[in-house]
């Protein structure tokens, strides 16, 4: 079993930056990838970014490419999401997720989820 704990959400003005962190505990060594999804009010959950633990290969949603950077620290079983150039449309609850394999942008590939952290971007 794996437990994910997120931190770092908050409120920021448009153009600002935030960094999210997600620490995995338990059988984290079994994980193949860790990433982030988000869900805005009234909208479906969407993929944001993910990083593979082997080789640090990253994947991003088109909507965040060039603004968000995902990175991982395997020694700490932690993944980070550095968000810059934030826009009001980035407002959502951000969820950390972990998988043992599968399609990176497909939520069904992820077996473990954090509790979510709110990110609010004001114009």
CA distances 36 to 28, 29, 49, 123, Å, are 16, 18, 5, 23
Task: Give residue-wise pLDDT tens across range 19-51.
Answer: 999 999 998 888 999 999 999 999 999 999 999
Q: Which pLDDT tens digit goes with each residue over 79-113?
A: 999 999 999 999 999 999 999 998 999 999 999 99
Q: Could you tell me if 49 and 65 are in contact, meaning their C-beta atoms sit under 8 angstroms apart?
A: no
d(CA 8, CA 74): 19
Which pLDDT belongs to residue 22? 98
80-97 burial, b at 16+ Cβ within 10 Å, e below that, comes to bbebeebeeebbbbbbbb
Q: Are 83 and 19 in contact (CB under 8 A)?
A: yes
């Amino acid at each position: 079993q794996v437990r994910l704990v997120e931190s770092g959400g908050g409120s920021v003005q448009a153009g600002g930056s935030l960094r999210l962190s997600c620490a995995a505990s338990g059988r984290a060594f079994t994980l193949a990838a860790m990433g982030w999804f988000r869900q805005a009010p009234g909208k479906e959950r969407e993929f944001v970014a993910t990083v593979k633990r082997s080789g640090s290969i990253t994947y991003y949603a088109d909507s965040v490419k060039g603004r968000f950077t995902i990175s991982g620290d395997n020694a700490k079983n932690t993944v980070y999401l550095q968000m810059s150039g934030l826009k009001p449309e980035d407002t959502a609850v951000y969820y950390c997720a972990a998988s043992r394999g599968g399609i990176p942008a497909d939520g069904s590939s992820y077996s473990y989820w954090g509790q979510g952290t709110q990110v609010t971007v004001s114009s």
